[in-house]
Structure formats: C-alpha cells, structure tokens
Homo-oligomer: A and B are copies of this chain.
Amino acid sequence: MRLCGSTLSLTILSLVFCGRLACCLSPLDLKLAGITGEKLNAQFEALAALSDTPRPSVTRLVFSDWDVKARRLIKDLMRDAQLKVREDIMGNIFARWEGAEKAAVMSGSHSDSIVLGGAYDGDLGVVGAIAAIKALRVEGFKPQKSIEAVMFTTEEASRFNVPCLGSQGMTGYLNDHTLDNFKDENGSTFREAAARIGYRSSSNQELLRKAKVDPAAVAAFVELHIEQGPLLEKEGIDIGIVEAILAPSLLTLDFSGSGGHGGGMPMSHRNDPCLAASELALKAEQAAFSTKAFDTVVTTGIWKQEPNIFNAIPRNVHLEIDVRDTEGDRRDGVIQQIFEAAEEIAANRKCNLTKEIRYAYPIAKSNPTVLGAIQQSADKLGLSSKKLISRPYHDAAFMAQIAPTAMIFTPCKRGLSHHPEEEISLKHMVDGVKTLAYTIAQLAGSAAPSQAKSEL
C-alpha cells in the first residue's frame, strides 16, 4: 500500500499548534459552540425522511428519486456553510473553503443507503463534515490549507453490486471492467444511470479521466462514521481511532442440480443445491473461526434459491460470501478454504459449481499524523478513545491509497448497522463531530497572522 504525504511527527505538529498569536484562533482553542445535538439530529432526520421505505428504516439507492432529493439537501447544507459547491462527472459532490494553500484537507462520506438500512451509515460523515466546517467558519478560524467537505457517490454496493464507485473513480481504482459489467437489476450500467440524473459522460475513458483527482490536491482525508460493530459501546469508549480498514472481498458461488418434483423424486436420486449451499455456509463459518483471529469475518449475506417453491427441489442456489480480515494473506487463506470446501461439497453431492472472487481490495492503513490529530482532538474534548480496526469498508479505504487518511468512529447502539434500528445517541453525535472539527482544523493548520503551518 502506498502512502503519500509527509511524515511530519506529532511533536512538530504540536509545536506548530503552540505557535499561535493571541489575535488568531489556534485549532484546539476553538469552542465549536455551533455543534449541537439538536441541530445535527434535525439534519439527520431530514435526510432519513428521503427514503423509499418508512422510518426507522432508510432505503436510498444511488441515483434514485430520493437520492436526487438528498443531494439537493446536502448541497443546501454546504451552501449554508458558505462553501463553494462543485460536482464531478460521477456525481461526487465537493464543498470548498479556500485556504492559503491549494491542497485541501478533505472530509466526508456517502449518503446512499442499502435497502432497509438505517439513518447514520454514511450520513453521519457527510452531515458531520459540513457541520464541523461550518463551526470552524462561524468561529472565525482561518485555515492554512484549503478544506473540503465531500459526499461520495454510491459507497454502498446495493445498486451496482460493487462498493465505493465514487471514491474508486477519484483514486484511480475504477476501470472499464467494473463500469461495463456491474449493472443494476434493470440492466443499467453506472454511466447510464448517472446520465439519467444529469451526470453525463461520453465514454468510460472520459469518466475515468475526469473523475480522478490529483493526489497532490488532497493534503489529508478524514472520515467520521458509526462503528457498525459493538466494541465501543460495550467498553464505554467515546471515540474509535481507526488504524486500518479491511477492504472487502466478495466471493460468489452457484451450486446447481437437476431439480425435480419435491414429492416425486426419491431422496437418493437428488443432487440438491440447497443442501450443498447449507454445507458450504457452515464450512465458511468454520473457515472464519479456523484462523482464531478476532478480525476474520465471513458472512453468507446473499442466498438466492431457484425456483424457490415449496414442492420443487431447488435447481440453483446463488451465494455471495463476504470475507474480510486484517491480514491479506490470512484473508486469502480463508477464501482458499471456502473454495476448496465448495469443490468437495459439489463433488460429493454431484452438483455443478461455479465460483469467482468478485473483488478483493487491499488493506488500508491509516496515516500516523492523521491518527495523532484525531487523538489530540479526542483528548482535548476529554473523551475516552481507543485505537481499532474497521472491518466494514469505507470510501476512506480508497482515499488512503492516495492521501494521508484515517477515520473517526462513534459508538452505535447494540453495534447495529445496515439495519433500521441503527442508532446513535446525541452525545456521541456531538462528540464525533467535534472531534472531526478539531482534527480538520489541526490538519489544515491556522493561517495568518501567525506563520504557523501544519504540514503533511
């Protein structure tokens, strides 16, 4: 994994922050009074109402009518924070605060959701970044580096079956294969669906060229997100400081058999793919436990059985198995175990098997300077914090490949996410956004009249 940016130590960064003059606001002296639970909550509720399904669930697939409305709302919030809004060819939305330097500290997340998801996965990092930047502006902070809020297009894979299309485009990970082969359930490609709401590109090449950002323009990237796991809540920790993000891998497997009438076909004549798939789901769970590593997770999230009627033996079962780990080699070993088990099961049950790795992205490691800024911010706020790993992927996983990056996690109730009952307390909302505001301010550095600069 390539990490760009400076290796400036935290010591130097601290010295810089102490170099302020009385007449100007140094990052950690800001009050951040504009960040309140009531205001934030009203914005989350306004976004959550833009959904195909009723509250508490949120269903907002990319480029749907609700997504278009959410984009409008987000741009309004950006303009309300006096930021200059622009959109790229993929619908990624940027809101800029010009600093003394061109290179920007960026912060943001996504606002699309899964089907029947919750109100905070993604939205916290979008609304939070805008609110954090607005609070800095309102208090008269003058950034040395530029600052940008960003909303990434379709982090969720719910429509096009591939995650993080916007951030993949920005960081050069997107390619022809993905643009041509991943389609929504109506057979539309990303480019076709994007064009329908005004993000037009004449070719894959144009899209890929125009979406890509210059790494030199990104001084740092920070993403605020709910944890999507139970650890912070269980331990009573306020802030998670994310040291690494497990980029996802996804396996697809299809078992097929002869089918036949469920009443008519004797048991001994069957080659039932439902039973093969059942064995595999259990083997996949065993493969996860076999590493004895807490960070290995395997999920048989998708199970599509055909014809799926009670009196016909299934003819096909399509599985999608998500495999993640903190160690690339260990993850690949689990994939290998699952594929070997699938071969053996298919042979034993005389089923046909097709299998592929749909994607397997690299691990992302956080940048020490960004991690340090988050730590100092949490400390300043008197919040308990803990270094941890993100097993869910995020746009930050791709941003980390081109810029110094880290993430801030807040606890979420019962660790639930991708779930209508996804929830976060007002206190944790405010803690997260304030930590983000201090982090952005430190990374951007305070400008005139002090000579103090932060550098990355």
Contacts and interface: CB of A to CB of B under 8 A. Distances in A.
Contacts of A289: 267
Interface in A255-281: 258-269, 272, 274-275, 277-279, 281
A324 B267 CA distance: 11
Interface string A220-253: 0000000111110000000000000010101000
Contacts of A371: none
Contact of A311 (B248, B274, B304): B248
Contacts of A250: 310
Interface string A291-328: 00011111111111111111111110100111010000
A35 to B, nearest CB: 26
A157 interface: yes
Contact of A262 (B230, B275, B309, B418): B418
B301 A261 contact: no
B294 A302 contact: no
A285 interface: yes
Contacts of A161: 310
Interface residues of A, number: 76
A162 to B, nearest CB: 10
A392 B313 CA distance: 12
Interface stretch (A73-81, A377-385, A409-417): A409-417
Which 5 pairs, one residue from A and one from B, show the smallest C-beta to C-beta distance? Answer: A262-B299, A228-B264, A229-B264, A278-B278, A263-B392
27 contacts: A115-B307, A228-B264, A228-B265, A229-B260, A229-B269, A258-B414, A259-B418, A261-B392, A261-B418, A262-B299, A262-B322, A265-B415, A266-B297, A267-B289, A267-B297, A274-B281, A299-B310, A301-B309, A301-B311, A301-B314, A302-B305, A303-B308, A303-B317, A304-B308, A310-B320, A310-B322, A311-B392
